[in-house]
Structure 1
């Protein structure tokens, strides 16, 4: 979700796209692809980086890398104290947070391909009177975060739900109303700013156009057709299978950079942490309520980028980006529910997601033949830049994973980190 710090691939992959260039030598771009005989050394290197991230304070880490040339690398590492709750595996379910936006955008584009809506439709066509200046805000602007709408996750009324102390069920309409209570940030289409309210609006539009719930749409249009048996839109706090436990520091151990209002999470206390796995992600809505696994998400990414889920015209629309930083017009770009960024090892497409207990980066190549996922089972450190030690170790792992996905060697600089 990334509520307080609205960045894309937000603290993770956008940072990776910048950090890789800083951490890795430029020569990595020209490095030859690794042969399959190098798979085991590469696995060992990634495992070492995952262990360093756990040693830096992450309760658990899942890594999955598929370079399209053989058996994927799958790694799960966890802090010894967390094993009393659950033995982490690479196949565990976890909360996807804002990666949900890629699925929601896919649903919108499927309906566009069917002629049931158009990206040029003003939001007022589908939600009359629900969005200020709704005649000027198009569905495309919602999809690529150029609407100017205030991010509802910044409203203090949502904080108890984020912390897990309020278990109310939020609807798309309610989340949208929370966001539009605030003045817009800029005129529609004039700037870029990441806003979860954009996707709350899209969730309400999808429900209006189809008459189906978001859970039904994810199930019937994506999960079932692709055979994603561990992927679903969460309608409450329960899990459907073995899942990664997510944690945040308890109030006594929370880094000082974290504001007082975000220091008291609901959940069972464990070794200076709070297990937030049982907290309801419903406040994420269409912006962040999907649950999946690394393997399922890889299948989704491959299907999406290869054209299995969308016709060529809609996939091209999804890949049409706007700069996330006006000072870098050729830098990282945000498309329709997906982001792209260049690294010395290759140009990735994907998204990230942050929701208490879970920070996930999912990336793929342009054609979907290569995929990678990194899950860190704690998230608040990234919201407030509250733990430089974890941030450094996470950046090194994420950067190395991207290079491994592109079949490039894990540079020695990553190990030095």
Structure 2
């Protein structure tokens, strides 16, 4: 249940998984025996090195099935078995989120509904909170577990056999930390309230709803106390931090079992956890709108809907950790379709690093499948002036030759054709093909589009997860758009249509956030905080633009902070005069040049005064059609934000210069004194950028003759100082910061 610590670790058919659970929570017979042996060896090694009392684990491999393994003791003298249920703690959150998504599929609720439609008034809970904010922890609600009050702690300890109801738990809440939508803060109370919403919308108790919509139809041997007796089937006892066994016999542990409620009280086996993630992420169990809601995340938050997101081992995956006596970790990797689950029955010892090590072992020792064709790359990505048709790079990653191959293709989410891919006498194991697909990408006036392609083999592919790609592109005839160009990131939840990401299948790409902005309500964010893929570069392109003969200026607002003692992110800009065939460096901000706020180990959310503006003179490209690319290199740091990207002709503001206004010094390195006459009756002093946009306004005291302007974090460049009375402009002077 405790929020994950930062440094713990740097569509196949679902039908084949549905088996008799209670009698068959063991490795599938078809699972490669040598692979299974290596996974068990790794689990034993992790158990020994981590000094765990007991571990239970499962790995789901498309084309192989499910491996299960156990290590150590479930209780003194009792070996851990793979069919023993254990508490999964905060991995219960995805189960509760899945229930709400399923209720949305049934038309019983909508994630954008306020909770007041379903719940009575509760002290300390704002009825205007949208259900969606509960599921991504942006409500500000007091955390009834991590921040419980002394009275609650006493009540918890007074009676081991107390069955805590959701209403009992709601009575323990303290004051909210902040108003809904202000920031992200992991709080178990969000999923406590979500459980209440589910009961109201579903018309039944939470235990009944879990069974009706999840456990029974998906044939999962999960249990929710007190609705279910978690001791009715084989289960594992706990060990405390001193290494002493803690007896769980069902006669006096209702407080421990029921207190986490819908935020963390579910019990399961790793076998069923990987099957659960398979249903959630890799099947049609959810309808498409709810599946999109499951995956949607705000750019400032590495949390979707009851599930976290991180990058590591060169992969990008969904995951969650849990801690309530038992410790659990569960991940799903969309690229490979692999799911990994691990649970320990030792309080206080995390399994996060061990679970990711087991994932690494699965990736490293993955047997070569008999039939596996991989879609390695798709072109075009971004803006192109050359391609009328797409190209794909195909590789045979299996042991058998590929003798027949087709490609399903589509645009903007609609499949349009199935094309034959010529493989000659066959594509040998390890062989590659660079293929031009005879399919029209549309005309140059249609702007940003998405291209989908899926490889289809004559015999079903053993590893289908690497057969599909979806990329964004725009075709251009080589004539750039007339200036001005501006993107303020307002009015969209996704990457705006004016920008095209260079990323493929990365869950931590640049994404719009509603939590921070230089102006307006939204900006673009890249969260490096959970990205262990060091050195990876995240790029996006502006549309092709025509620079006027007068030249132009690129301007953008940015905010960033450094994570102490780790890496330094690099933000670079590149420019191309040949429609992306080649690029040259345009600007670079790194280290302290990029930082606009003090170093922080917390998720960075900039205040209004922690934004800076960077300007780049494009006069040397006058008369050219240019493509501008932004690129951020990840060093596992914090967050980077961009806003108000503009390319325009600089504003000439010389006609209003007043000789009675003096700027000292000018040019300036830091502070500037603005001097004027008392007779001018100046009431306001404004600092403007090269486009005439107001960056700062300061009220001037009556009868004053001087104002001091502080440069703060502004980059070098040309600015203007504007003085005003209540209803007129006194004058304007040009200011140069160097």
| TM-score, L = length of structure 1 | 0.74
The structure whose residues are more often strand, as a share, is 2
Contact 2:138 2:182 in 1 (8 A): yes
1:231 alignment counterpart? 222
SS of the residue aligned with 2:320?
Answer: strand
CA deviations 1:375-405 (Å, max 9, x no partner) are 11112345xxxxxxxxxxx454222122244
Higher relative contact order (CA 8 A, sep 6+): 1
1:264 alignment counterpart? none
Give the distance between the partners of 2:353 and 2:197, measured in 1 at CA: 39
How far did 1:335 drift?
A: 0.8
When residues 70 and 38 of structure 1 are mapped into structure 2, their CA distance, relative to the original with a 3 A threshold, is same
2:337 alignment counterpart? 369
Correspondence list, 1:2-401, <5 A: 2=2, 7=3, 10-11=4-5, 15-16=7-8, 19-20=9-10, 39-40=35-36, 42-53=38-49, 56-79=50-73, 82-84=75-77, 86-132=78-124, 134-153=126-145, 154-155=147-148, 156-159=150-153, 165-179=159-173, 182-228=174-220, 230-235=221-226, 238-249=230-241, 253=242, 272-276=244-248, 278=250, 279-280=253-254, 281-322=257-298, 329=300, 333-356=302-325, 358-366=326-334, 369-381=337-349, 394=351, 396-401=353-358
Give the distance between the partners of 2:104 and 2:35, measured in 1 at CA: 42
When residues 396 and 101 of structure 1 are mapped into structure 2, their CA distance, relative to the original with a 3 A threshold, is closer
How far did 1:162 drift?
A: 5.9
Give the distance between the partners of 2:249 and 2:141, measured in 1 at CA: 30
Contact 1:164 1:276 in 2 (8 A): no
The structure whose residues are more often helix, as a share, is 1
**Unaligned segments of structure 1, at least 5 residues:** 21-34, 254-270, 324-328, 383-393, 411-417
Give the distance between the partners of 1:42 and 1:310, measured in 2 at CA: 34
Give the distance between the partners of 2:222 and 2:336, measured in 1 at CA: 19
**Unaligned segments of structure 2, at least 5 residues:** 11-30, 367-738
Give the distance between the partners of 1:108 and 1:400, measured in 2 at CA: 32
How far did 1:282 drift?
A: 0.5
Give the distance between the partners of 1:164 and 1:284, measured in 2 at CA: 17
Contact 1:304 1:368 in 2 (8 A): no
Give the distance between the partners of 2:211 and 2:58, measured in 1 at CA: 23
Contact 1:123 1:131 in 2 (8 A): no
Give the distance between the partners of 1:58 and 1:197, measured in 2 at CA: 30
How far did 1:168 drift?
A: 1.4
Aligned residues: 339
- Give the aligned CA root-mean-square deviation in angstroms: 2.7
Give the distance between the partners of 1:145 and 1:107, measured in 2 at CA: 17
When residues 163 and 368 of structure 1 are mapped into structure 2, their CA distance, relative to the original with a 3 A threshold, is farther
SS of the residue aligned with 2:169?
Answer: helix
How far did 1:57 drift?
A: 3.3
Contact 2:125 2:141 in 1 (8 A): no
How far did 1:161 drift?
A: 6.8
Give the distance between the partners of 2:277 and 2:158, measured in 1 at CA: 30
SS of the residue aligned with 1:334?
Answer: coil
Give the distance between the partners of 2:345 and 2:281, measured in 1 at CA: 27
Give the distance between the partners of 2:112 and 2:84, measured in 1 at CA: 39
How far did 1:134 drift?
A: 2.1
SS of the residue aligned with 1:402?
Answer: helix
SS of the residue aligned with 2:358?
Answer: helix
Give the distance between the partners of 1:336 and 1:131, measured in 2 at CA: 25
Structure number with bigger Rg: 2
When residues 367 and 158 of structure 1 are mapped into structure 2, their CA distance, relative to the original with a 3 A threshold, is farther
